[in-house]
Structure 1
């Protein structure tokens, strides 16, 4: 897997074929969609090229992303599968030439939300990003593009397991420093995280256990109780389909009748359940914090405030409330001396046990003052797409996060920040 020139002769022509296909990439396409730009004309042009066989590999991967951004996940994954069957290396746009550093990201062939959205972190850094999609049924390339440091961006989801296993087998002879080792990513699954973090001072994490559809059906019939599946779980319970993210399928169920109704609306065969923790503040509002850890140091990412427990940033209506935004701005401004200091022991403990170079945590504060952990993963989006006129305080905070991430890559590569790869 030594670095080689980035072009090879095609078997069919004497024209050099680029090793790394160029693409628009996730960050630029998502930013355009969030800004209200219509992606359908680009979709139509690329679909025409796909159908007549003239599409380039990078264009095909962009087409897959556009389909998912337009809401057609099934079509997007089908296009991605077709592209990745013949090409696995892609280069994202870089803000500097020559680049200040070269990073190789190891991804899985999955949906757009199940790999670390690393492009957002590097978009303005001058660091070149090449992504290798690791395919369990396709051999490693006999070469790797030149890079200073590698990072695993595949998630702990079921469809990434094959890629993580394959990366783990190759780790011992990887030619460069490799961040976010796959064995540790596998510990982030919801039913494993409690066992990993349980017992940390000042931290609370309710046990989460897997439950089959048959088990939930028996609970709905009062044949079983939640505690029969896992000790310490009782009504009300939190349930979600296994593998779901961003609150999809998440529900609080108060009794057996609610379980029956939930199953009627969710056809999945496998779920996670846990006990519900009422984390309302004294003013009756719920507050969910997203913290990003970079090289063991925590940074504020966002604070969502809502009157509903099933809160994530998009349903908290932060843009509609100046009071909420003022509180979020204060949270970011005073993070190091406030939140991070208040939960110093808990944050240090979970960072050490998780052991990843980069990951995020969604959390809250209990009424007793403990840090309540909802989930930890390496794929939550960390971005600067919020409108600056509404959220002016986010720009400097996100810049701090992005700079910390770039500095970590330089540090771990052994190259000073001003050096090019």
Structure 2
């Protein structure tokens, strides 16, 4: 994998996100790869695979403006991109329906299925009707990868009708994806026994400004909400502009820094343990069966695996704790099995990620539910060998789900 830049030729195939993310997680410099592809595009500017590969690299490097412009150019040339099976023989062909946009806006399935005997077909829909432009490649199963957002709502509504009579089974039917919206998810899961899902409200900027100015009282306007609160822009991902706000004065300062039309607001729940550590789990539900992706520990309440210091040399105790939780995940399921089962029953999502923690009184604290979370087995094996088996369990569960859906799907003869 580390020689990927040497293997990029003008006729290079579409590589997807996975190999570039792997290099990034291994702290490799992606700039030489970007320069390599730029040079190749000087000779072959209309190569859509190269444009898409460079789009991925630039987004990982933190330049989404250039990355999205490259993607736009690629999609003018073609909208279908294929990652073949590693062996050349595929157990099944999966059509992943994607929305143009940031890498965080679609299910990064190639990161999970890296190295599997499956063919992944990425079809980028149009942003407006007609949603399908290029011919649809032959496939055995379809999956909706588009995330929930106000921008994608018309697309998901159109897909709901289109996919209702699709010729193959569909994973994550579009009519269910709306439940991953933060306000919907909190309303859906807050009443469930064993779950702490802070009620989340969507506010326009003017309403948040009224709270900051003291013109309205937080607890009176939004039942049960009190400082400290968490505030973030509506369509932010990966903690971008997410802050814990302690007072109206701090809220006013936040509004000066973060300007957008709509914000999410909810209570901050202190989930630190007796040592003052915050521990966050990423769980995946595959047809309701729970699997662990990772567990991160930090002294800060806002945890992302990449900023929790899990790769640091001095983080051996953190990794030992994560290894125990991954090897003994049945203990977590014993504590929260009923809650996890309820999440599946209420969302009806075939494949769903859950970022969560455990509260001081043993509740399952839900931060977010979504089908576009990154799930992978790319961490350095020398430090994270304990992740190999749990990650393979997720892959096997996904493969089994797909194969069973294909077998159970009515054939044309049965439909006639």
TM-score by length of 1: 0.89
Distance 1:148 1:289, change over 3 A: same
Distance 1:296 1:155 in 2: 20
Q: Number of matched residues?
A: 394
The aligned runs of 1:175-214 (5 Å cut-off) are 175-214=167-206
Q: Is the 8 A contact 1:116 1:154 kept in 2?
A: yes
Return the match for 1:28 from 5, 8, 19: 19
Higher helix share: 2
Matched, 1:137 2:131: no
The farther-off stretch of 151-160 and 232-241 is 151-160
Q: Does 1:76 align with 2:76?
A: no
Structure 1 residue 294 displacement after superposition:
0.8
Does the 8 Å CA contact 2:108/2:372 hold for their aligned counterparts?
yes
Report the Cα distance in structure 1 between the residues aligned to 2:193 and 2:321, rounded to whole angstroms: 27
Conserved 8 A contact 1:68-1:112: yes
Deviation at 1:374, TM superposition (A): 0.8
Structure 2, unpaired ranges of 5+: 1-11, 409-416
Aligned residue in 1 for 2:113 = 122
Alignment of 1:221-232 (within 5 A): 221-232=213-224
Ranges in structure 1 where 5+ consecutive residues have no aligned partner? 1-20, 416-421
Q: Distance in 1 between matches of 2:160 and 2:221?
A: 32
Partner of 1:302: 294
1:40 & 1:325 partners in 2: Cα distance?
30
Measured in 2, the distance between the counterparts of 1:318 and 1:47 equals 34
Please report the TM-score for the alignment, with normalisation by the length of structure 2: 0.90
Report the secondary structure of 1:211's partner residue: strand
Deviation readout 1:239-264 (Å, 9 max, x if unpaired): 11111111111111111111111112
Shift of 1:147: 1.0
Rounded Cα–Cα distance in structure 2 between residues aligned with 1:270 and 1:51 = 41
Question: Is 2:216 the counterpart of 1:241?
Answer: no
RMSD of the alignment, in Å? 1.8
Report whether the alignment pairs 1:389 with 2:382: yes
The match for 1:366 among 359, 364, 369 is 359
The question of whether the paired residues in 2 share the 8 Å contact of 1:202 and 1:371 is answered with yes
Distance 2:237 2:81 in 1: 26
Query: What is residue 110 of structure 1 aligned with on the other side?
Result: 101
SS of corresponding position for 2:105: coil
Could you tell me how far apart the structure 2 residues matched to 1:343 and 1:331 are? 14
1:278 Cα deviation after fit? 1.3
Structure 1 Cα separation of the partners of residues 176 and 203 of structure 2: 24
> Is structure 2 residue 182 aligned with structure 1 residue 218?
no
Q: 1:172 aligns with which of 144, 155, 164?
A: 164
1:45 offset after TM fit, Å?
4.2
Tell me how far apart the structure 2 counterparts of residues 196 and 380 of structure 1 sit (CA, whole Å). Answer: 20
